[in-house]
Structure 1
């Protein structure tokens, strides 16, 4: 479970805008935006809409918590402007990201909390040592202040390792039909030729959930670690994910390469190779092309004959009509 928070100040705003977004794995499930007409913490997943029945008054409580966090962020923006010796008239952002992760057995695995200012890392919590790691010299002042009160780090650590995990388990149960499903990938291998003749094979996987997937290229059963190119796993926009991995090959050696796809939605790994179009397929395509050309020639001859016979080729009968279809220094993270 991850939360992203951000406060943004600019001369055009009466006060900094505060946004908070929560994710379970890679699925957004809650959000808060102080710029809305009636800002409140709101569900962003269908399974979260029944949360008020599970925990009466939860949306009101979390709205108040987010409003309080917004005020803390606004104060911290002013402090940071002083640390960086900046004008109050500029555009500035303060961001936070915090998360807890559990193992397949739902036991705590890791948690983190980190802040960024104006798009650059600022400070992060080391949950093992209860210390703060300053990413830039200006963050040393914040580090000293927060380490002077050990209870701040202890409170964050307790949240990440205990309370965050309890809510994560609850949400997994509430949204299990969505969050705990395993949609297998559909995959294929394509061949691409660059302008100078270089050949690349790409192994593409799509329509899978969750996002964790492995694409491995093998040459004669040996894993290829060089001449590889990957794109990070990306959301497809429909609740599933997509990814591809490419490998540079010598033309004529394509049959030596195989792509292995592993995903929890698959009963066993997929092994794929590039398959050039078969001779029979090419013959069929050629026959169809010849037939279409022949039909076009015959049609042209008929039209030419009608024109040369004075248009006496018979009466034109229109097709029957049909209707057209076109007419119609930071407080505890907010949490649900």
Structure 2
């Protein structure tokens, strides 16, 4: 079964949003509300609240876990307090139902109607340290959530991997680029694996170093042949012009 995730910005549900405001000491507080939807099954809908204090990720509520988790000393204290508050627990359950569950069908219908399959390319380049760098790019896809991973001999690779932010194309589609700085052995099989909601199965592109070398040789050979042809053409034109200007050839013609 396909597994994908939609993140819904609940700006549509302002009733439950926390106003961004500074407290009496000038510290900034705000919260982001999210719905993670994996299928049409309502039981699988995940509701999350990310709470920030002075630009620091302080704590998070996760409906799957069923409570708050603190990530800072203040966040740990506040999370512990809220987890013991039966009214807060009830409020989060109501928010999940109203913000996420009640709107799953509508959002999935809209999203599925506009899904766009990514076009994927895999190229080789050279990094700043003169090591081999592979670039896997996914273009023109929708919705935004996508996973681009690298595999070596069937195992996922995380070392030496950097991924760009998912960037908008200026319309409703997106693009993303993943970079792998790596020097594989000749027997290694390196692949870029792309997973997206529009795909019934992952797209897999294999990198073949021998193919890249042959392509470069073919390109160099083609350029040389083109230059050589241009030289012969130039010599032919020069010879023809000389004959055209020679009176002996002109009289014969």
TM range (shorter): 0.5 to 0.7
The answer to whether the 8 A contact 2:150-2:158 is kept is no
Q: 1:183 to 1:130 in 2, by over 3 A?
A: closer
Which digits, 9 at most, give the CA deviation of each residue in 1:226-259, with x for residues without a partner?
Answer: 7531315623434123232414115xx4574331
Inter-partner Cα distance in structure 1 for 2:218 and 2:134: 23
CA contact (8 A) 1:208 1:240 kept: yes
Match of 2:38 among 79, 103, 108: 103
The 1:188–1:144 alpha-carbon spacing in structure 2 relative to 1, beyond 3 Å, is closer
TM-aligned CA deviation for residue 99 of structure 1:
1.7
The yes-or-no answer on 1:112 pairing with 2:93 is: no
- Please state whether the residue corresponding to 2:29 is helix, strand or coil: strand
The answer as to whether partners of 1:217 and 1:247 remain within 8 angstroms in 2 is no
1:199 to 109, 132, 153: 132
Q: Is the 8 A contact 1:99 1:111 kept in 2?
A: yes
* 2:182 partner SS: strand
> 211, 216, 221: which is aligned to 2:150?
216
Q: Aligned with 2:117: secondary structure?
A: coil
The list of structure 1 runs, each at least 4 consecutive aligned residues, that deviate by more than 6 angstroms after superposition, is 293-299
Distance in 2 separating the partners of 1:93 and 1:157 = 26
Q: Which runs of 5+ in 1 are unaligned?
A: 1-23, 32-40, 42-61, 302-336
Q: Give distance in 2, aligned partners of 1:140 and 1:215.
A: 33
Kept after mapping to 2: 8 A contact 1:93/1:117: yes
CA RMSD of aligned residues (A): 4.2
Q: Which residue of 2 aligns with 1:47?
A: none
Alignment of 1:56-205 (within 5 A): 65=15, 70=19, 73-74=20-21, 77-78=22-23, 81=24, 86=25, 88=26, 92-109=27-44, 110-125=46-61, 127=63, 132-138=68-74, 146=82, 149-161=85-97, 163-178=99-114, 181-192=115-126, 194-195=128-129, 197-205=130-138
TM (norm. structure 2) is 0.65
Count of residues in correspondence between the two structures: 226
- Does residue 1:287 correspond to 2:225, yes or no? yes
Please state how far the C-alpha of 1:154 moved relative to its aligned partner: 0.8
Question: How many Å separate the matches in 2 of 1:266 and 1:128?
Answer: 26
Residues 251-266 of structure 1 mapped to structure 2, 5 A cutoff: 253=185, 256-264=188-196, 265=199
CA drift of 1:183 comes to 0.5
Output the CA distance in 2 between the equivalents of 1:260 and 1:147: 42
Asked if structure 2 preserves the Cα contact closer than 8 Å seen for 1:203 and 1:259, the reply is no
Aligned residue in 1 for 2:162:
230
Task: Provide the rounded CA distance (Å) in 1 between the counterparts of 2:18 and 2:138.
Answer: 41
Q: CA deviation at 1:156?
A: 1.6
Aligned to 1:249, the other structure's residue is in SS state: coil
**Separation in 1 of the partners of 2:218 and 2:72?**
65
Task: Give structure 2 stretches of 5+ with no counterpart.
Answer: 239-253
Aligned twin of 2:244: none
Contact 1:235 1:241 in 2 (8 A): yes
TM norm structure 1 = 0.52
Q: Secondary structure at the match of 1:108?
A: helix
Residues 264-322 of structure 1, C-alpha deviations (whole Å, 9 max, x = no match) = 526664332243225443222123234556778999x9xxxxxxxxxxxxxxxxxxxxx
Counterpart contact for 2:148–2:178, Cα < 8 Å: no
